[in-house]
Amino acid sequence: MTERFITRRDFLVTAAMAAGATHLHAQPKSAIQVRLTIPSKAEGPQMPGDFVGLSYEVQQLVDPSFFSSKNTGLINAFREITSHGVLRLGGNTSEFGYWKSTPDSPEPAHPTIREVVGEPKAHYYPVTAEAVRNLAEFLKATGWTCLYGIGMGTNTPERAAEEAAFVADALGGSLQYFQIGNEADLFDRHLRDPKTWSAKTYLQEWLAMARAITARVPSAKFGMPDVASRVEWLIDIAALWPSIENPPHVTTLTHHYYFGGPATNPEVNIPNLLMPATMAKVQKTADTATAAANKVGARVRMTEGNTCYRGGKPGVSDVLAAALWAADYSLLLATNNYSGLNLHGGTGKSVANSVGGSLPGDTLLEQQGATPAEIATHPHPFYTPIATFGTEYKLEPVARGLQFAGSLSGGRLFKTDFAAKFQAAGVNGTGYAAELPGGKWCVVLLNKDLAKDVEIALNFDRGGVADLQALRAAAVDSRDAEIVQLSGSALKKDEPFRIVVPHASGMRLTIA
């Protein structure tokens, strides 16, 4: 039996990895050997074609030119990530926005809230009709749809309904659903009475707003509750749901997820981000969320999250490690039948405002002696998928991870034991596979191990041609993460395809 073997030399030369060769010097003979098999039939969940998404603060709408058809740089960046994605608008700042339908509309009276260190300050701002119209044109230009967040913390049902009616009309088919409130499970910190606030009192407030919106927009759909961390709220709400008479149309149960934080926490580091136990915790959350969604008759979506909360951590959130994490996290959620995920980002100012006015990552860099020029070379916020440098937009490593995983979008996932096989071999790695529309197969192999290369013998029962790409950088803590096209290879049915996946890298095979 003959086997096609991609050598380490082929990998380095074809991928133009000379700059990183010192980090990836092991030869195939020293690589850990793992044998993987793709089942003959894809019997896992269908991964939606628009699975991949981004999350931004609603406050980003204060600048109507940001989400605009004229902002071609941002449009191109969105389309480079995926041609069919989902933009979620929400975040902490959404609780302080108010609807301003016309230039002369008066600012409403605002409630008094507690000011808490680390929470957003009560800086109120208008969401204008101009910004929403521009958003609609931006969505058309990108081919993306929108999850539109309406504030709950300082809003009223009447104002929420007025805003929703305009948004529904302006966005049309680009609007997937409304999200009322952001991280309501944390309202007891500064927006509600901690003695009485619960999933039940939240649901009562939410119903008042959702019904006001439905009265103006009968076709309105909703996602909820968008919790920060108390995923048990989903179970509580699912238990209460049967008692609600004529409930609003909820299509999605939503939650957030950040690996850890803030940036000053030493536990937020690359080894912890990539270790298998991190994904085991993700799986536990997914089990809880999907159980609740099944009771409500909805899907689950992770609508806001990233590597490190409060803006990310330099050297962790903006390097290759974040790309590997993003790819693995995305596809693990897909295997749990999530409708998608939205990684948070945006401009430094909007995210800083959402966490009290400053980014902990900046403080960390200053403590490490970084100069202002050195600080400016990082994206702000540090975890953003799309960084803004003046008028330029740049895809960051975490966006490359989304791209890598997004290649399986629209496909039917195979049920595999790839992660178990890596674990049995003593390697921190995993993999996913899907049958794409049209019959192609796509396989994503992720070697998150910081030291061990893997030599994989991939078994499958079809022939064809494999198109190969690598997700790599000079080192796991390098910011130059990229997806590189490799040479293709002919495959023969029932003959293993052998390939080396270096440590801290990914490989993607599309088999036609």
292 and 439 share one domain: no
Q: What is the mean pLDDT of the chain?
A: 93
Question: Could you tell me the CA-to-CA distances from 397 to 65, 97, 351, 387 in Å, in that order?
Answer: 26, 31, 19, 10
**CA-wise closest residue to 325 among 304, 343, 348:** 343
Structure tokens at 345: 């980002």
Mean pLDDT of 478-482: 96
pLDDT(152) > 70 = yes
455 and 313 in a single domain? The answer is no
Residues 59 and 37 in one domain: no
Q: What percent of the chain has pLDDT over 70?
A: 94
Strands 454-459 and 32-37, how do they pair? parallel
Over residues 282-294, the mean pLDDT reads 98
CATH number, domain with residue 447: 2.60.40.1180
Residue that terminates a domain, selected from 374, 406, 438: 406
Which CATH number covers residue 271? 3.20.20.80
pLDDT of residue 21: 29
**Residues 94, 41 within the same domain:** no
Task: Tell me the pLDDT band of 12, cut-offs 50, 70 and 90.
Answer: very low
Q: Determine the residue type at 167.
A: V
Judgement on whether residues 115 and 171 belong to the same structural domain of the protein: yes
Contacts of 493 (CB under 8 A, 6+ apart): 461, 462, 463
Question: Which residue, 369, 384, 406, sits at the end of a domain?
Answer: 406
Residues 6+ away with beta carbon under 8 Å from 390: none
Q: Evaluate if residue 392 carries a pLDDT over 90.
A: yes
Residues 397 and 466 in one domain: no
In this predicted structure, what is the pLDDT of residue 16?
A: 32
Counted domains in the chain: 2
383 and 443 assigned to the same domain: no
Question: Angle at Cα 328 formed by Cα 327 and Cα 332, nearest 5°?
Answer: 120
Q: Looking at the structure, do residues 329 and 423 belong to the same domain, yes or no?
A: no
61 shares its domain with 34: no
Q: What is the CA radius of gyration of the chain?
A: 23
Q: What is the pLDDT of residues 345-373, one digit of tens each?
A: 999 999 999 998 899 999 999 999 999 99
Band of residue 8 on the pLDDT scale cut at 50, 70, 90: very low
* Structure confidence at residue 494 as a pLDDT band (50, 70, 90): confident
Residue after which a domain boundary falls, among 368, 390, 406? 406
Q: Strand 145-150 and strand 175-180: pairing?
A: parallel
Distance of CA 243 to the CA centre of its chain: 33
Q: What is the domain extent for residue 500?
A: 4-46+411-511
Answer with the residue of higher pLDDT: 34 or 491.
Answer: 34
pLDDT (average), residues 156-176: 98
pLDDT band at 121 (very low <50, low <70, confident <90, very high): confident
Give the model's pLDDT for residue 120.
81
Burial class from Cβ neighbours inside 10 Å (0-12, 13-18, 19+) for residue 156 reads middle
Strand stretches in 194-339, DSSP E:
222-227, 250-260, 299-308
Q: Are residues 469 and 321 in the same domain?
A: no
> Are 14 and 142 found together in one domain?
no
Q: Which has the higher per-residue pLDDT, 115 or 352? A: 352
Predicted local confidence at residue 2, as pLDDT: 30
Dist. CA 132–CA 61, nearest whole Å: 8
Residues 366 and 457 in one domain: no
Model pTM score: 0.93
Burial of 84 (0-12, 13-18, 19+ CB in 10 A): middle
Paired sense of beta strands 86-90 and 145-150, if any: parallel
